[in-house]
Structure 1
Amino acid sequence: MIDHVRPAQLSDWFAAAAPQSARAVVLDVREPWELQTASVTAQGFDLVSIPMGELQSRLTELDPARPVACLCHHGARSLRVATFLAHNGFEQVANITGGIDAWSLESDPAIPRY
């Protein structure tokens, strides 16, 4: 099942989803130019950047035992990636609803909007 989590609720989702031994992951699936434009800072989670188009060939870089919250610009690409992960054995998956745009509005106004 895929959870839908607003950026402001992400730390609560991590606390509920992550077993004590597994550090949560934010999987940023945006393109490199988007990362240069606006990026989040890993605080209480690990940040992994894999563009959506490369995910299938790089899936082994992710651990299905760790909770993964997927991030894109507004939430559409990340939802597709979250669905893909859920169909490939990842049990704790969330889509960050509203993407980095919402993250800027709700959690960190220093992140540029584009």
Structure 2
Amino acid sequence: MNSIRPAQLQNWLQQASDPARPEALPVVLDVREPWELQTASVKPEGFELRHMPMRSIPARYPELDRHHPVACLCHHGARSAQVVQYLESLGFTQVVNIDGGIHAWSQERDPGVPVY
């Protein structure tokens, strides 16, 4: 499983972007629960932000393109790591875990994101 830290996201976005399809932004898939999104959320800058709670992934993964870059995000990185493994088992080819989750995001990318 591939992982990146929030501080590495910008480099990953640049590498994952398809110059032939500039409108097709990489996806950050937030797998936290709705109450967590209300507590703290990230701003979509250079990526498409999608929310799918972890428990909904088995029913909703067809909404994602198996060959499109997806970076999974949760609170600390454990749930998103499980989602990455699940998506890889389904044939997703460009999926990474955001190690440290939104907690690390607040420390490394945007201190305005509340820590909980």
TM-score, normalized by the shorter chain, greater than 0.5: yes
Match of 2:46, SS state, is: coil
Displacement of 1:18 in angstroms is 2.9
Gaps of 5+ in 2: none
The code of the aligned residue for 2:7 comes to A
Cα distance in 2 for residues equivalent to 1:90 and 1:15? 19
Displacement of 1:89 in angstroms is 1.4
| Alignment correspondent of 1:8 | 7
| Alignment correspondent of 2:44 | 42
Question: Is the CA contact (8 Å cut-off) linking 1:28 and 1:47 kept in structure 2?
Answer: yes
Cα distance in 2 for residues equivalent to 1:82 and 1:62? 13
| Alignment correspondent of 2:81 | 79
Cα distance in 2 for residues equivalent to 1:18 and 1:3? 17
The code of the aligned residue for 1:112 comes to P
Question: Is the CA contact (8 Å cut-off) linking 1:18 and 1:66 kept in structure 2?
Answer: no
Cα distance in 1 for residues equivalent to 2:75 and 2:105? 10
Match of 1:14, SS state, is: helix
Displacement of 1:64 in angstroms is 1.2
Q: Once the two structures are superposed, what CA deviation does each residue of 1:9-56 show, in whole Å capped at 9, x if it has no partner?
A: 001012222322242000000000000000001000000000000000
Q: Percent identity?
A: 57
Gaps of 5+ in 1: none
Question: Is the CA contact (8 Å cut-off) linking 1:72 and 1:99 kept in structure 2?
Answer: yes
Root-mean-square deviation (CA, aligned residues, Å) is 0.9
Q: Once the two structures are superposed, what CA deviation does each residue of 1:39-84 show, in whole Å capped at 9, x if it has no partner?
A: 0010000000000000000111111121000000000000000011
| Alignment correspondent of 2:17 | 18
TM, length-normalised to structure 2: 0.93
The code of the aligned residue for 1:99 comes to G
Cα distance in 1 for residues equivalent to 2:37 and 2:96? 20
Cα distance in 2 for residues equivalent to 1:14 and 1:89? 21
